[in-house]
Structure 1
Amino acid sequence: MKFTGTKDYIATEDLKVAVNAAITLERPLLVKGEPGTGKTELARQVAQALGAPITEWSIKSTTKAQQGLYEYDAVSRLRDSQLGDPRVNDVANYIRRGKLWEAFVAPERQVLLIDEIDKADIEFPNDLLQELDQMQFHVYETGKTVQAVHRPIVIITSNNEKELPDAFLRRCFFHYIRFPDAETLARIVEVHYPGIKKSLVSAALEQFFEIRETPGLKKKPSTSEVLDWLKLLLAEDLDAADLQRNAKDALPKLHGALLKNEQDVHLFERLAFLARRG
């Protein structure tokens, strides 16, 4: 199994190496990077390229590691016992499978995406150490052990909102997706908008990188946001000349796609004010 990228996803050479190294080592691939740089999409494209089904587990602040294994619905069992339901005699009827269980017992090898692991409690990664390492877990209510039929390709994403435990990091192959340079970003744009005018792309990306490099910017626009911006530019039938700014108008056209908080909007408004005074 080798990942060589897909026609819909521009993967750098070092990213391909990281994916294939994780597959060879049979270790989870931990992918970090700015929000919007294609970490989640990477897992989907790996699944597509390898012809494997994907199981996605999106992590929230309230998610517990146990939910990825299974949950025992004691409340439903109590209710059914009060109603005289014969199903209560088999506790397995009240075990709800989690995403890891689904991936473990699938008839073919799966890609398992654990998305945004850093959103959960700090103990969350440690609580999955043994299960991801041994590819099995015990169901205490039934006394049975669930073991992976085929070891899934595990891809874990993080936006770096909090540090992950060393013991967890030691078991992963790590890759940081750097923000793409202008040439790579132009290739990404071409994939999403085939045939787009090169003059528009050139002018838009030049302005986009100027915005990203503006000192004092609170949130830098990401790859997904520049794609949204270009979609709007195309919908409005704008060309390179329409993107030119002057001192009176420091904000880019349709800036709401790129600037996502009032502090950054005010920053560009202040820059325009200073430019006019100058």
Structure 2
Amino acid sequence: MRFDGTQNYVATDDLKVAVNAAVKLRRPLLVKGEPGTGKTVLAQEIAKAMDAPLIEWNIKSTTKAHQGLYEYDAVARLRDSQLGDERVHDIRNYIKRGKLWEAFTSEKLPVLLIDEIDKADIEFPNDLLQELDRMEFYVYETHETVRAIERPIVVITSNNEKELPDAFLRRCFFHYIKFPDRETMQAIIDVHFPGIQKMLVSKAMDIFYDIREVPGLKKKPSTSELLDWLKLLLHEDMPLDVLQNRDPTKAIPPLHGALLKNEQDVMLFERLAFMARRQGN
């Protein structure tokens, strides 16, 4: 099995190498990068390319590692025992399988996505070390060991919100998705908007990359936000000269809400526009 990108996902050469190395080694692929650079979509496209089922575990701040293995609902069992339900005699009726259990017992080799692992507390990665390394875990309530039929392809994403433990990093194959350069971005746009006017894309990218270079920007616009902006420009049938002959005293681009996502950045651009007007006078 080799991953060479898909029709819907433009993968750089170094990303292809990373994916294929992780698949070969059957090590978890840890993918970092700015939000909006396609980390989550990567796992989805790997599954499509390899015709594999995708099992997604979306991590939240309250997620605990054991939830990925299984959860035992003791409260439900107690309630059923009080009601005289026959189900109480089999404890398996109260065990809910987690995403790792699903991946370990899948009849077809799956892709397991552990999405945004850095959202959980610092102990979360450590609590998964043994299970991801040995590909097995013990269920205390039923006294059974769940072992992976075949080591699943594991993709773990992180937005770098917190550092991951060294012991966890040692067990992963790491890749950082760099922000796309203009050539790669053009290829991504061509996938999503085939036949789009080249001049419109060129001017839009000029503005987009200029915005990303503004000092003091709290949140730089991402690839997904550029695609949203282009979609709006096309939908609103924005004349090309609006982008070509943009007034420098109006620093905020048209439909800027697709690119600027907080009031601090909007105010920053308004100040830049004010300063440009003063210098013009």
- TM-score, normalization by structure 2: 0.98
State the alpha-carbon separation in 1 of the partners of residues 73 and 7 from structure 2: 44
AA aligned to 2:210 is: E
Identity over aligned pairs, percent: 73
SS in 2 for 1:56: strand
Aligned to 1:257: 258
**Is 1:270 aligned to residue 271 of structure 2?**
yes
SS class of match (2:10): coil
Give the aligned CA root-mean-square deviation in angstroms: 0.7
Quote the residue 1:112 is aligned against.
Answer: 112
Tell me the amino acid that sits aligned with residue 58 of structure 1.
N
The AA in structure 1 aligned to 2:179 is F
**SS of residue matched to 1:113:** strand
SS at match of 1:8: coil
TM-score, normalised to structure 1, is 0.99
For residue 97 of structure 1, what is the aligned residue in structure 2? Answer: 97
Q: Secondary structure of the residue that 2:107 maps to in structure 1?
A: coil
Amino acid at match of 2:23: I
1:151 CA drift (Å): 1.2
**Match of 2:205?**
205
1:182 corresponds to? 182
Residue 65 (str. 1) matches residue 65 (str. 2): yes
Question: What secondary structure does 1:35 align onto?
Answer: coil
Displacement over 3 Å in runs of 4+: none
Other-structure match for 2:241: 241
Q: Which residue of 2 aligns with 1:12?
A: 12
Deviations 1:16-73 (A, max 9, x none): 0000000111100000000000000000000000110100000000000000000000
State the shift of 1:247 in Å. Answer: 3.2
CA deviation map 1:71-102 (0-9, x unaligned): 00000000000001111111111000000001
d(CA) in 2 for partners of 1:213, 1:250: 13
Mapped to 1, the partners of 2:241 and 2:120 lie a distance apart of 46
Listed as ranges, the gaps of 5+ residues in structure 1 are none
Flag structure 2 segments of 5+ consecutive residues without an equivalent.
none
Residue identity opposite 2:262 in structure 1: N
Letter in 2 for 1:265: V
Counterpart of 2:155 in 1: which secondary structure? strand
Aligned residues: 278
